[in-house]
Chain A
Amino acid sequence: MERGAKKRALVIGAGGLGCAVLPLLARAGCAIRLLDDDTVSLSNLQRQLLYGTADLGRPKAEAAAERVRALVPGASIEARLERLTPATAPDLLRDVDVVVDGSDNFPTRFLVNDACVLAGIPLVHGAILRFTGQVMSIAPGETACYRCLFEEAPPAGLVPSCAEAGVLGALCGIVGAWMAWSAGAILAGGDAGDGLIVHDALVGTTRVVGLGRDPTCAVCGDAPAIRSLDPARYEEVRACEV
Chain B
Amino acid sequence: MRGVTEPARVVDIRSQVCPMTWVRVKLGLEAIGAGEILEVWMRGDEPLRNVPRSAAGEGHEVVLCEPAGDGHRLLIRKGA
Which residue in A43, A162, A242 is a CB contact (below 8 Å) of B54? A162
Interface of B is mostly: helix
Q: Are A163's CB and B53's CB within 8 A? A: yes
**What residue of chain B has the Cβ atom nearest to residue A163's Cβ?**
B54
Interface string of B36-71 (1 = CB under 8 A from A): 000000000010011001100110000000000000
Contacts of B46 in A (CB 8 A): 240
Does A165 count as interface, using CB distance less than 8 angstroms? yes
The complex places the Cα of A43 from the Cα of B17 at a distance, in Å, of 12
Q: Smallest Cβ distance from A51 to chain B, in angstroms?
A: 19
Question: B26 to chain A: which residues have CB within 8 Å?
Answer: 163
Using Cβ atoms and an 8 Å threshold, which residues of chain A touch B57?
161, 163-164
Which residue of chain B has its CB nearest to the CB of A240? Answer: B18
* B:20-37 near A, CB below 8 Å: 21-22, 26
Tell me the total A-B contact number using a CB cutoff of 8 A. 27
List of B residues within 8 angstroms of A240 by Cβ: 18-19, 46
How far is it, in angstroms, between the C-alpha of A164 and the C-alpha of B54 when the chains are bound?
A: 8
List 6 interface pairs A-B (beta carbons < 8 Å), by A numbering: A43-B19, A161-B50, A161-B53, A163-B22, A163-B53, A240-B46
> Which residues on A sit within 8 Å (CB–CB) of B53?
161, 163
Q: What are the residues of chain A within 8 A of B58 when measuring CB–CB?
A: 163
Contacts of A161 in B (CB 8 A): 22, 49-50, 53-54, 57
**B45 CB to closest chain A CB, in angstroms?**
10
Q: Which residue of A lies closest to B56 (CB)?
A: A163
**Bound state CA distance, A242 and B46, in angstroms?**
14
> Hey, which chain B residues are within 8 Å of A43, CB to CB?
19
Question: Which of A163, A164, A242: most chain B CB closer than 10 A?
Answer: A163
List of B residues within 8 angstroms of A162 by Cβ: 18-19, 21-22, 50, 54
The B-contacting residues of A in range 124-146, CB under 8 angstroms, are none
Determine the residue in chain A with the shortest Cβ distance to B57. A163
Task: Produce 1/0 per residue, A161-173, CB < 8 A to B.
Answer: 1111100000000
Q: How far is the CA of A164 from the CA of B55 in the complex (A)?
A: 11
> Which residues in B have their C-beta under 8 angstroms from that of A165?
19
Residues of A160-216 at the interface with B, using a CB-CB cut-off of 8 Å, are 161-165
Q: Kindly identify, within residues 227 to 242 of chain A, every residue whose CB is under 8 Å from any CB belonging to chain B.
A: 240, 242
Complex formed: what's the CA distance from A162 to B18 in Å?
Answer: 7
